[in-house]
Amino acid sequence: MIRLDSKVALITGAASGIGAGIAERFSQAGAAVVLFDIDGKGARSMERKLRETGRALAVAGDVSCEGDVKAAVEQAVGAFGTLDILVNNAGIEVLGPIVELTSSDWDRQLNVNLKGVFLFSKYAIPHLRVHGGAIVNISSVHAFVGYEGNAAYDASKSGMVGLTRALALDHGRDGIRVNAICPGYIITPLMDHWFNAQPDVAAARRQVISFHPLGRMGTPRDVADAALFLASDAASFISGTFLVVDGGMIAAGR
């Protein structure tokens, strides 16, 4: 079993969905987990859950606010003495073709999905380089496959993959590995919200499941297992690349 004993991991968007799945998996592997989310109540709920068997700290804030980010990293190091792993998971999805998006829509999408990665990496790297560490960015299959009505989201997720490569090059000599995970359709509250907005919820679910050669949608645990691998010493010679976790969807031309 892959272990993260004595490691400290900061995970953004950790109150629910993929972020919560990663936080729980890392805690099970022995890491102290810092749960950062704009949903402070949700983050504190996860903190209580993880503290039943491990070490956890909830921090409320906005990934696009530099002051919040800087304070979160300081709180993480203050609470646990170090920082070894950063998982940039927080994200939103702003839908619509370019001609229908406002400048505010565009800024909101990139501020959360891309600027947040920049800010957390900027403030975490000085601590990660002390002992060497790992950054795992949660991108999407949207980085490689375009979908109608997803211009801003696709741009943000493509940007995350480019930023992953740049960070890996800039900080490899610091002993910091940087990789991205590109999930397909994952069962999360955000995905459920999208399904519930469709005219025929059951038909929409069947269609999405049909995209996957494995015959199912992914779960947060599927992504969490991939993140655990990339964050651990088992991936000590892997950096500057991405791992697609999509049940074969891209291979099927979806």
**Among all residues, which ones are annotated catalytic?**
153
Structure tokens at 115: 């600027």
Q: At what angle do helices 66-80 and 116-131 cross, to 10 degrees?
A: 30
**β partners of residue 179:** 136
| Residue found under tokens 């022995």 | 30
Give the Cα separation of 22 and 134 in Å (integer): 14
- E strand or H helix that includes residue 157: helix 151-171
Give the Cα separation of 4 and 228 in Å (integer): 8
Query: What does residue 144 show for φ and ψ, rounded to 5 degrees?
Result: -125, -25
| Residue found under tokens 């025929």 | 200
Give the Cα separation of 22 and 14 in Å (integer): 8
Query: What does residue 136 show for φ and ψ, rounded to 5 degrees?
Result: -120, 120
